[in-house]
Amino acid sequence: MDKKQDAFPRIVIIGGGFGGIQLAKKLKNKPVEILLLDKHNYHTFQPLLYQVATGVLEGDSIGFPIRRIFTHQKNFTFHMAMVQKINFDNNTVIADAGEFEYDYLVIATGANTNFFGNKELEHFTMPMKNIAEAQNLRSLMLQNLEKALVTKDKAERDALLTFVVVGGGPTGVELSGALSELREYILCKDYPGLCNADMKVYLVEGKPVLLGAMSPQASVKAKQFLSEMDVTIFNSVHVESYDGNMLKIDDGTTIKTRNVFWAAGVRGEVPAGIPPEIIAKGSRIQTDEINRVQGCKNVFAIGDVSAVISDANPAGFPGVAQVALQQGKQLAKNLINIINGEPTTPFVYTDLGTMATIGRNKAVADLRRLHFQGFFAWLLWMFVHLMSLAGFSNKAIVFFNWAIGYFTRNSDNRLIVHHFNTKTMMTDPVAR
């Protein structure tokens, strides 16, 4: 067992996402010992995963080594470990890398794709919640374009060139726009013999509007932008089934396609050992106003895996990066106050705004009472996301890629790194 040092209380953080990283940073030079556990050795900037999936960026440019982030933080230790269970009785975290003691535990494991219990959709559709999944999505898309170029079967060719994005939130809208731009600027150039009219892009959303969490102005404008980019939009419908060949929607529509990308929901990544009675809707852990897990004195949860439910906030806070960042910052203060025997301060979320980009010079932005659409919103989106990336090298690489892409309307990141059997959605042995 990995035992804590006696000098300072040990705070174990599970998860190197926005919340966990922010919390660890804010505890720098504090009289605590910090141990961060994550199954990856890098932090992922998830808002740009769709650009990895569509070949705009390479995966390395949106991932940054966790150890590099904390190079000069002396009270910080990192272990790459897959957490298997939390043992509340003896204050330990059991992982594949060992068993770790804690004085205070913070669960910041984030969220994963929610297929709402549909195993067929889970098997045949492509999610996009991490770098590996984004690269898999890109490989499948490019592989199908290659197949479409040589197949003699028109029905199969049409299916290979039909792309369906399920989910009309920011991820689905941005991915749909990026696919449309790939069709507009890349398809004919890279695949002579295919033309833009051959490739179809559909967006399926269960709500009556796109970007339902944003302002009505943003929703309307986003739909207008996508419609102008020849994306076919289905609102107020749900996917019933997809068997790898035929997608069925509950309004009776069927679409023959080899490409279904799932961005329709998320569920919290809850470690084993959490009592089921405190897990709320969406697989989120219920906490009090200072993010302390219900029924626990020294265990906390922040970010997408947490649910601060109250009469004023019955659904909890939205699963966005700003919530995790603000919770991490506030919890750092509260943990020090708890250790020092001082009063804590309830978490209050400040909504700084929401943005989504649809394509070249097209974006929507809600900044509190201010609403922007078009070119200025697009510039604002790029600036905010560029500045939010970890590390100067990542900022420079992404800016360089964006600049090259803007002026050339092209990129060099369209590599097929995995080969899929599109009948089974399994990696072919030859590619391993």
Select from 57, 54, 13 the least CA-distant residue to 34: 13
The reported pLDDT for the residue numbered 125 is 95
Output the six-digit token pair for 266: 């998320």
Contact 217, 371 (CB under 8 A): yes
Whole-model pTM over 0.95: no
Residue with tokens 């601060």: 308
Q: What is the layout of strands, in order, in the sheet containing 200-204?
A: 232-234, 200-204, 162-166, 259-262
The reported pLDDT for the residue numbered 324 is 94
Contact 118, 235 (CB under 8 A): no
3-state secondary structure 34-83: EEEEECCCEEECHHHHHHHHCCCCCHHHHEEEHHHHCCCCCCEEEEECCE
pLDDT in tens, 279-317: 998 899 999 999 999 989 999 999 999 998 877 777 788
pLDDT in tens, 227-279: 999 999 999 999 999 999 999 999 999 999 999 999 998 999 999 999 999 99
CA-atom Rg of the chain in angstroms:
22
Residue 104 CB burial class (10 angstroms; 0-12, 13-18, ≥19): buried
Q: What domains are defined for the chain? A: 10-39+81-113+266-339 (3.50.50.60), 119-264+360-431 (3.50.50.100)
The reported pLDDT for the residue numbered 358 is 95
Enumerate residue ranges in the chain where pLDDT < 70: 1, 3-6, 420-432
Question: What is the C-alpha separation between 205 and 232, in angstroms, rounded?
Answer: 11
What residues have CB less than 8 Å from 319, skipping those under 6 apart?
Answer: 111, 266, 303, 304
* DSSP-derived secondary structure for 108-158: ---EEE--TT-HHHHHHSB--SSHHHHHHHHHHHHHHHHHHHH---HHHHH
Output the six-digit token pair for 219: 């929703």
Question: What is the C-alpha separation between 372 and 374, in angstroms, rounded?
Answer: 7
* DSSP-derived secondary structure for 245-274: SEEEETTS-EEE-SEEEE-S-EEE-PPTTS
What is the bridge-based pairing of β-strands 279-280 and 284-287?
antiparallel
Residue with tokens 């995995």: 418
174 is catalytic: yes
The reported pLDDT for the residue numbered 426 is 58
The helix or strand, by DSSP H or E, that contains position 393, with its residue range, turns out to be helix 392-408
Among candidate residues 58, 174, 181, 205, the one labeled active-site is 174
The reported pLDDT for the residue numbered 114 is 92
